[in-house]
Each structure stands twice: as C-alpha cells, then as structure tokens.
Amino acid sequence: MSVIIDDTCITCDACLQNCPVNAIVDDMNNPTGESRYYIRPEKCIECVGVYDDPQCAAICPSIGCITWDMPYTKEYEEHYMNNDLYAIGTSKTGKVLSPSHREKKYREDIPLEQRGVGKEVQEEPEELEVG
C-alpha cells in the first residue's frame, strides 16, 4: 500500500467518497471482517499524480486513524500476505493480486522509517510560536 485504517474509524464514509481509485470499501464489505472501513492495498496508489497527499487521510475526521503502510512492492510481499491485516483480492483468472503480481505507485519521498502500520499520515496542526 499505501495507507491503512485502524480501529478508531468511525465509519463516516468521507474517505470512501474521496478516493480517486475506489480503493476503499465500507465496514459492511471489509474483507477482513473487521467493523471498520478498509483500504485495498492492491488498489491504493497513495494518490500519486492526483493529489499532493493521501486524500483519505487528509479528510478523515478521526486523527491518526489512517496511517502509512509499506510500499506495495515485491520487497514487502510477505508483509501483505498477513491475513490478519489484509485480504488481498484476486484477478478474474484467480491470481492473487499480491505485490509480485503488480506493484503499485507509492510516495518515494516518504522515508521508510516513517512508514509502517501506525505511522501517522496526518499531523497535528503546528503550534504557533508566541513572541
């Protein structure tokens, strides 16, 4: 991926309405069975070429709910085969759409140390300096 939604999701639907590639599904269609919205890592492009930053995280009212994940590349194949966090879809011919099958775009300017489940995309507003 990409980005990932955690259990602080309040199912407000804002992210789903704003994803340019329809990578987000609601809680009723979350393939992992969790009662939260879910981002399909095999579809998410981190909004590369469309917006300046992940639009879902920018619009999400639950600060910290959507966090960075690893790039959806072969290097992180094993990470995305974790069935507790992801339910990677299959192609019409039945092939698992894993990173080995098709890598996705990701923000190369985001350092790897800033990535991983739980690494915030949204930042709190900077405090104004007084004086």
**Backbone dihedral angles phi then psi of residue 24, each to the nearest 5 degrees:** -110, 135
**Residue 30 lies near ligand SF4 (rule: CB under 6 A):** no
Give the distance from CA 2 to its chain's centroid.
4
Min dist CB 67 to ligand SF4, Å, is 10
Binding ligand SF4 (rule: CB under 6 A), the pick from 30, 42, 55, 76 is 55
**Residue 70 lies near ligand SF4 (rule: CB under 6 A):** no
**Which stretches of the chain are assigned E, i.e. beta strand?**
3-5, 24-25, 38-39, 66-68, 119-120
**Backbone dihedral angles phi then psi of residue 78, each to the nearest 5 degrees:** -60, -40
Min dist CB 55 to ligand SF4, Å, is 4
Residue 84: how many CB atoms within 10 A of its CB? Answer: 7
Is residue 117 packed enough to be buried (19+ CB in 10 Å), middle (13-18) or exposed (0-12)?
A: middle
**Residue 5 lies near ligand SF4 (rule: CB under 6 A):** yes
Binding ligand SF4 (rule: CB under 6 A), the pick from 4, 30, 38, 45 is 45
Min dist CB 131 to ligand SF4, Å, is 36
Contact residues toward ligand SF4 (CB under 6 A) are 2-3, 5, 9-15, 19-21, 23-24, 37, 39, 44-47, 54-56, 59-62, 65-66
